[in-house]
Structures are given as C-alpha cells and as structure tokens.
Structure 1
Amino acid sequence: MNRIDVELRSWLGLLVVLGPVLLVAMDGSVLFVAMPAITDALSPSADESLWILDSYGFAVGSLLIAFGAVCDRYGRRRLLIFGAAMFGLGSVGAAFATSPELLIAFRVLMGVAGATLLPSALAVLGTLFTDPRRRAQAIGVFAATFAAGFAIGPIVAGQLLSRLWWGSVLLINVPVVVAFLVLAPILLGEVRATGPGRIDVASVVTSATGLLTVMYSVKHAAAQGFSTSSMIVGLTGVALLGWFGRRQSRIDNPLIDFALFRNPVFAIAIVTGFLPLAAWSATAYLAATYLQSVLGTAIADAALLAVPGALVLTVVAVLTPAVVARIGRSAALITAHFTIAIGLSLLLATSTGGGVGWYIAATAVAGIGYGISFSVVADIAVAAVPAERAGSAAALAETGNELGNALGIALFGSLAAVVFRLDGPDLAPTLGETLHLPDLAAVIVDDARGAFVSGLHAVAATAAILHGVLGAVSLRVLGTAGGSESARRRPAAIRS
C-alpha cells in the first residue's frame, strides 16, 4: 500500500477503536442520572446503591494493570475483541437485571471487560501511528473521546430516561460493540511484544487482589463506618500492594516499571490522572442530584445543563496536544489543576433557591482543566515507554483515572453523607430516601435540601483545595521552563 492508503487505514483503525473507548468511559458515568429511576424500579438499599455506582469502576481499576501486561504479551487486537464481546453481553444482562444483586454482578462483568479494552485500545495507537506527530494527534483524539464519554454519559442517560426505561442507558452499548466486532479484524493488525517473556502470575494476582481489597475497605468504611473486619481487609490489601511493589524491582518482566516515577513530570501526571476524575465523578453525581432533587429540574433538562461543560472538556482535550507543543507538559499540568480548582470553587455559590448559572460556569471552567489532564496523562503514558510496553504504561495511566472515578464517589460521597447527617433532619441517610418519607413537613424538606447543598459545598471546597495544593506543588517542582524543554524532547525527557 502507498503512504496515503496506510494513513487512511490508520485513521479508520482509530475510528473503530474509539467506539469501545467511548462506551467504557460513558459507562463510568451513565448511571449518575439513572440512579433515581433504578431506585424506583429495583429498590436497592443505600449500600447496594453505592455498589451499583462503584462496582464498575472498582472492577476496571483493580484489573487494568494485569490486563495491560496481558495485552502486551498475548496480543492487543485479540484482547480488544474478547473484551468488546464480554462488554456487550454484560450490558445486555445489566439492562434487564431484575434485582440490585444481578445489576451489580453484570456491572462487575462490564468492568472486567472494560479493563481489557482500555490498555489494549491505547496501546494499539502506537502501532497504527508510528510518526510521533501523528501519534500525538491520535492520542489527543483518543483522550478527547475518553473525556467526552465521561462527560456525555449523564447527558445521553437523561435524554433516554425521559422516554424509555432505565435499562436503555445500557443497551446503547450493543450496536457499537457489534460494529466493532465486525470491523476490528479487518482494520486492526495483531501486535504483541517481540520478547514477551512469561507473565508473573503472582504479580497479576496480588495487584488485582490488593487494589480490590483496599477499595472495598475504603468503600465499606465510607458507607458503614470503620469496623475491625474492614480494617483487616484494608491492611491486607496494603500489605499485598507493598509486596507487589517490591516484587516488580526483582523480576525480569515487571507489570509496572516504577522507574518511570523518577521523572517528576510523569509522577505528577499520574496523580493528575487520579484526582481530577475523583473530583469530577463525585461532583457530577452530587450535582445531578442537586439539580433534580433540590431545584426540581426535570431529568432531560438536567442532562442538557451538562452540555456546555462537556463541550468545553471535549474541545480542550482535542486542542491540548497543539498547546502542549508550545508551552510544554509541565505548564499544561499546572494550568489543569488551577482551572479545576477555580471551577469547583464556583459551585460554592449554589443554593437551595437557585444556582443553575453557577453550575454551568463551574463545569465549563473546570472542563478546561479536565480536558487538559485527560489528554496530557494519556500522551505521557504512551510516549514514556518503548512500543512493546505501551499497554502496561497505558494501563497505569488509566488505572489512575478509573481509581479516581471509583474512589471519588466513595471518598467524597462519604464526606457529603457525613455533612448531610450532621446538618439534616436525621430521618434517613440520603436526601432521596428522606424526600420519599410520607407526610414530611415543608420545614423538614427545606432542612434536608439545605443539608445536601452543604454537603455539595464541602466536597467542592475540599476538591478545590486539593487541586490548588497539587497545582502549587507542580509549579514548585516542575516550573514552566522545564516543561517547555520536556515538550521539545518528548520521550527522552520522560525516560531520563
């Protein structure tokens, strides 16, 4: 094939890969708006509701590292096709679940499948685009698609729920999966590491088990408070992860190359992959509840109010590679944290009497930082390593994203719940359950809504402070001059 044919095939291959990427990202947020409808249909307990929201992200986050190594050694296209098929089956099962337990089980299956898709999809870009400039453009489109998936999930869900039942938000995955399974064998070639060696089974098991048990312990403590059993489980997970980390420096084919973290740009970028997703997932979920349960906004209208922020986020993610080429990765990372902090601070102006304008402004300003963070983290992850290790590096970056998405609701959500219990009428653990109680006096309803807004403010303020602190640390450690130099010396700077 001539050069034009090869380039066209590469971009068509990217287009095919973006389908599963969009779905995996959307399914991390699509249930935020759907939870009231799911609650009415399946009547989950408060704990089951958290698991319905968290189980998908927990499964993805705990298995990304393991599947990143698998895709490097046994073939990325093979894992993509297998993962897409499982994702489709899990979506159908979840859409028709008749109990909270079944929905949680199928969401876990979708999470396992998603963990196979993300590292494989991002690693494929390194083989589709060998030219560094084209690869950076492709990664920017990939990052924009992933970011857009998180952002438009609630929007799509809101439009569907205004017309159809709650399972429709999951069935939209099926046609995209079918199209991918038809086109992927035609447009994507198989690639694996040239000298893969053996997969260290002990590392795979300990990384997945350690992450899962730590996340379970945090989630259990957030929902039910500290207990001896949850602390033992959490400490066991920490010990497993510690053993896993030490083992990676002693084996020939580690799942994670911890030497990458010696570079401050890479290290801060990985943290940047975690914190923005944690803040975004928590505030998106709480804001959806605020719009519907506090301000009384209809589902479809609440979804439309998220459009400006989603557009800003997506456009910024697309444009970030070009901006980074001028100002450098370091400056981009610093900008991301400060703009997110400013955007989150705007949520403090919301109240029980109104705040739609402040909500739109907050999502738009924070969307600038979110778009930058998604794009820069993905770029660094792939550029930092040789092609045969791209899957593992991509998995590390995406693990930060997914852990942020999962733990954001568990950690920040627990903060909001504590504030609600302290400031509210103390009749039920959540605003939704309180408002469903019979014969509530108007003063109690106002008290409950005010307590929820106080919880939203506490989360927004805490997340804004954390981003401000990380931005200040990034400014002190990285500076802007070093960032521009690292942008000019792309992979070499990261590997130093």
Structure 2
Amino acid sequence: MLLLPVLLVSMDVSVLFLAMPQLTKHLDPSPTAALWILDSYSFVIAGLLITMGALGDRLGRRRLLLVGATVFGAGSMLAAFAQGPAMLIAARALMGFGGATLLPSSLAIISTMFAEERERSRAIGVWTAAFSGGAAVGPIVGGLLLHHYWWGSVFLINVPVVVALWLAAPLLPADSRAPDAGNAPFDLVGVGLSVGGILGAVYTVKHAALSGVNATAVAVGVLSLALLVGFVVHCIRAEHPLVDIRLLRNPTFAVAICTTLAAMMSLAATTYLINEYLQSVTGRDPLNAALLGIPMAATVCAFSLGSARIVTRLGVRGAFITALAVCATGMAVLQWTGVHDGLWAFLAGTTIAGIGYGTAFSLVSVVAVGSVPPERAGAASGISETAFELGQALGLALLGSLAAVVFARTLRPDDSPYRGTLTDAIAEAGGNTELVETAKSAFMTGMHTALGTAAVILVIMAVVTTMVLPRRTGTAPSTS
C-alpha cells in the first residue's frame, strides 16, 4: 500500500510527456508556457521535499502522507479539467505540493518498519523500483488512456488511487516521528532559505536557457546563490537545523546525490524528447508510442530490483561508475535515430539506458537512507528525493530548453529564432512536404544535441565518482 503514493508521483511526471502533443493542440500554450506546464510540478516538489521530510519527522509520517494524498488528488481534478495553460500550471503546482509530502513520508515509514539493515535495504530497493518503474511505465498507462479518452484522463487516474489509499489507511503502520521532534523548534529560517534558493536556482537555469543571460537571470541567480550559501551556513551553525549538512561530508552520500542529479536530468530530457519524437516526428499515436517504451520500462524495473546483486559483485563505487557509463552509452546510441529510420537505435538506446537508470536509482536510495539512523529517515529521504526532483526540473529546464533553442535556430538559421513548437511548425507548413521535413530534421538536431550533452554530463559524473570514492567501497558507511 505504501508503494501507491510513490507510483502516483513518479507516473505523473512521465505520463504528461506522452500527453503533451495532444494537450498542446487543445490548450495552445506558448513554448515557454508548455515548459512551465512540465516544470511547475517538479519545481514545487524540489523546493519542498526537504521541508516536508523534516515536517514528517515532527508531525508524523502517516498523517502527512494522507494529507498530501488529499492535496494531490484535488490538484489532479483541477488539472484534468483545466481550461487554459495558466490554470493547468497552477494545478500542477498544487499537485507538486501534495507530491512533496508523499515521497519522503512513504520512504521514511518503510525505513522505520524494518530495523534489520539487510531487510531495510531490500525494502528500500522495492520502493525505488516502484519509483523508477512508475516513471518508466507512466507513458504506457498514458498511451492506453489517450487512445480512448481526452488528455485530462491522465490526471483523473490519480483520484481512485488516492481514494484507495484513504480506504486502506487503517492497514498502514501506526504513526511514527523522530523521538526528539517535539523538543526542538522547527527550523523556519532553514525552510525559507532552502525553498527560496532551490526555486530561484531552477528558475535561473530555465530563464537563461530560454531567454539568454540577461539582467533578470543574473539578478535571480545571484539572489538564489546567496540564499543557498546562507542555507548552508545556517545549517552548520544552527542547533536544530532543517538538514544535517554533515551528511555531505560522507563521499558516498555526496556521490549518490550528485549521481541522482545527473541521471534524473538525463532521464527527464530523454523521456520528454523521445515521446515528442515518436508522436510528432514519426507520426505514431500515443498508444503505439507507449508500447515502444515497454523495453525501457522493463529494464528499469528489473535492474532496480536486482541492484543489490550488482553492488555485491562490484561494490558501491563500481556500481555507480557502471550505471553512469551504461546510461551514457544509451544516450550515445540514441544519436542514430532519424526522421525516417533508426527505430533499432531508439529501442537499443532506451533499453541500455534503462539498465543504468534502474541500477543507479535503487543504489542512490539505499545509500542515502542507509547513511542515517531510522529516526532521521524523513530528513535524509527528503535530501535524496529533492535531488530526484531537482534533477527532473533541471533536465527539462536546461536540456529541454537546449533542444528547443537548437531546433529554433536550425529551423531559421538566418532570421530571428523560431518561437513556436514542432507542432506549430508542422501546422504552419500547410501540408508542404519539404517544410515539414525541414521542421522534423531541425527537431532531431535539437534532440541529438540535448541527449549528447546528457551523455557528456553522465561521463563527467562517472569520472568524478572514480576520483572521489575509494577503491574499496562496499556498502554505504553510516554517518551517524
């Protein structure tokens, strides 16, 4: 039952990628608004996960889980019947608020249910498989829904799951919280600094990618950097900080967080771009596009569950390096996709990448939560899941925007950059085959550039891991 909220949050990220072409036709958002529809959910989750993890430690994880599920369900209803881009962006932000409570609460409850380290690691592995698997199968579920219903159905599917969670609430473990939660004041200063810094940093990257480095990007970037530095200094000096910064002194934990950022950036951009490729470039309907995603979904799930065996054979260091290298290989293979050919490259590339993602994400969760005592599991999982969602947001904001910029400048190299989407360009072509082919080729150039950049980021992270982690790193050492 505790896996239901995880599936909800992770599926809702990826299912929208498949729905975007249909949604764009009905709501007609601008390119900037389209990215905000995708980003607002992850932005809010990224900004609030640390806070919600610490809040669950104080108020009770089960209580926060049920409240968050209610908010998530309400936001899903509003999103399903949104009448315009602005309403959908607001609804997605509300869903993000609810989702920020679901992830750390469910993971913290699971980690406190299993006292024995091996059982706890296995349970966390199952949780991670549900999270990464949900993101992988989200487009498949979305494809089935979009084949029969309108785009809003991908949000309505959340409502019965939320109802089922409430009905099953008596079966959940008794509420748990950190033993000393009531004795320490809640770190409101840390909350303000972390939320402001994270949201400001993500906005800066997004704005700079879309509009260039202008006065707004510089001003918000400097302010967000100041807030993040202030947050770190505050957590070091505060008696009861929101986040125990000492966790990052553990190189294994720090590598796990950075690996999450790099892998999620890659996965988010890949999922978004390949679904646009399958539907808008190759002309497949949502169901056929979703079915082509099954190999990747299967490998993500399988290797999430089997990552413990990989760690046993390779060690934590070897598993991290291998997972990052495999993900980068998958991105490289996707460079062979084309407008009229390259289906083999799509299937091979996504399947190979799925192996790396499944291994990396499972390993990250075990390392992150295993580095702290069970009573601090909420705060630790908050940091880990913030990295997941921040990577998601950065992947769409940075790599997604990079693809859009390259597409625009490739389509009109001599004039002012094109301001529409691929769907807009195809519609404006008016059936002119040559113009349609030009637009699709420009999109492929943008997609290949973004995925190539993702591969470089993953390789750099693998090199850093090689240099930072000691050669004999077995399991994650505890920092407690």
The answer to whether the superposition gives a TM-score over 0.5 is yes
Structure 1 contact 327–483 (Cα < 8 Å) conserved: no
CA distance change for structure 1 residues 198 and 185 in 2, over 3 Å: closer, same or farther?
farther
CA RMSD of aligned residues (A): 1.4
Tell me which amino acid in the other structure corresponds to 1:133: R
Aligned to 2:284: 297
Structure 1 contact 59–112 (Cα < 8 Å) conserved: yes
Aligned to 1:229: 216
Aligned to 2:319: 332
1:432 aligns with 2:417: no
Aligned to 1:475: 466
Matches of residues 270-289 of structure 1 in structure 2 within 5 Å?
270-289=257-276
Distance 1:261 1:326 in 2: 26
Report the Cα offset of residue 494 of structure 1: 3.6
Tell me which amino acid in the other structure corresponds to 1:261: L
Distance 2:73 2:276 in 1: 28
Structure 1 contact 265–494 (Cα < 8 Å) conserved: no
Matches of residues 320-469 of structure 1 in structure 2 within 5 Å?
320-425=307-412, 427-439=418-430, 441-469=432-460
Report the more deviating stretch, 171-180 or 223-232: 223-232
2:296 aligned to 299, 309, 331, which one?
A: 309
Report the Cα offset of residue 397 of structure 1: 0.6
1:218 aligns with 2:208: no
Matches of residues 131-146 of structure 1 in structure 2 within 5 Å?
131-146=116-131
Distance 1:331 1:168 in 2: 42
Aligned to 2:479: 495
Report the Cα offset of residue 438 of structure 1: 4.8
Structure 2 contact 273–447 (Cα < 8 Å) conserved: yes
Query: How does the TM-score come out when normalised to structure 1?
Result: 0.93
Structure 2 contact 54–378 (Cα < 8 Å) conserved: yes
Report the Cα offset of residue 221 of structure 1: 2.3
1:93 aligns with 2:83: no
Residue segments in structure 1 that go unaligned for 5+ positions in a row: 1-15
Report the Cα offset of residue 412 of structure 1: 0.4
Aligned to 1:6: none
Tell me which amino acid in the other structure corresponds to 1:472: V
Aligned to 2:177: 192
Report the Cα offset of residue 184 of structure 1: 2.3
Structure 1 contact 266–494 (Cα < 8 Å) conserved: no
CA distance change for structure 1 residues 445 and 72 in 2, over 3 Å: closer, same or farther?
same
Alignment deviations for residues 115-155 of structure 1 (CA, whole Å, 9 cap, x no partner): 11111111111221112111111111000000011111111
Aligned to 2:190: 203
1:264 aligns with 2:251: yes
Report the Cα offset of residue 442 of structure 1: 2.1
Aligned to 1:12: none
Tell me which amino acid in the other structure corresponds to 1:495: T
Distance 1:494 1:263 in 2: 8
Distance 1:443 1:64 in 2: 48
1:127 aligns with 2:135: no
Structure 2 contact 112–375 (Cα < 8 Å) conserved: no
Distance 1:483 1:366 in 2: 24
Task: Indicate the SS of the match to 1:482.
Answer: coil
Task: Indicate the SS of the match to 1:30.
Answer: helix
2:141 aligned to 156, 161, 165, which one?
A: 156
Distance 1:285 1:278 in 2: 11
1:55 aligns with 2:45: no
CA distance change for structure 1 residues 398 and 427 in 2, over 3 Å: closer, same or farther?
closer
Tell me which amino acid in the other structure corresponds to 1:455: G
1:244 aligns with 2:235: no
Task: Indicate the SS of the match to 1:429.
Answer: coil
Aligned to 2:150: 165
Distance 2:140 2:81 in 1: 21
Aligned residues: 474
**How many percent of aligned residue pairs carry the same amino acid?**
46
Alignment deviations for residues 272-302 of structure 1 (CA, whole Å, 9 cap, x no partner): 1111111111011111111111111222111
Distance 2:204 2:145 in 1: 34
2:163 aligned to 168, 178, 181, which one?
A: 178
Distance 1:67 1:266 in 2: 20
Aligned to 1:29: 14
Distance 1:112 1:287 in 2: 28
Task: Indicate the SS of the match to 2:472.
Answer: helix
Tell me which amino acid in the other structure corresponds to 2:309: A
Alignment deviations for residues 175-204 of structure 1 (CA, whole Å, 9 cap, x no partner): 111111121233221111111211111111
Tell me which amino acid in the other structure corresponds to 2:128: A
Tell me which amino acid in the other structure corresponds to 1:68: G
Tell me which amino acid in the other structure corresponds to 1:323: I
Task: Indicate the SS of the match to 1:165.
Answer: coil
Distance 1:177 1:185 in 2: 14
Distance 2:159 2:340 in 1: 41
Report the Cα offset of residue 106 of structure 1: 0.8
Report the Cα offset of residue 427 of structure 1: 4.7
Task: Indicate the SS of the match to 2:301.
Answer: helix
Distance 1:103 1:428 in 2: 21
Task: Indicate the SS of the match to 2:221.
Answer: helix
1:81 aligns with 2:72: no
Report the Cα offset of residue 223 of structure 1: 2.5
CA distance change for structure 1 residues 214 and 472 in 2, over 3 Å: closer, same or farther?
closer
Structure 2 contact 21–279 (Cα < 8 Å) conserved: no
Report the more deviating stretch, 91-100 or 325-334: 325-334
Query: How does the TM-score come out when normalised to structure 2?
Result: 0.96
Structure 1 contact 428–434 (Cα < 8 Å) conserved: no
Distance 1:175 1:386 in 2: 35
Report the more deviating stretch, 467-476 or 294-303: 467-476
CA distance change for structure 1 residues 75 and 427 in 2, over 3 Å: closer, same or farther?
closer
Report the Cα offset of residue 206 of structure 1: 1.3
Tell me which amino acid in the other structure corresponds to 1:466: I
Report the Cα offset of residue 465 of structure 1: 1.4
Distance 2:469 2:197 in 1: 31
Matches of residues 10-25 of structure 1 in structure 2 within 5 Å?
16-25=1-10
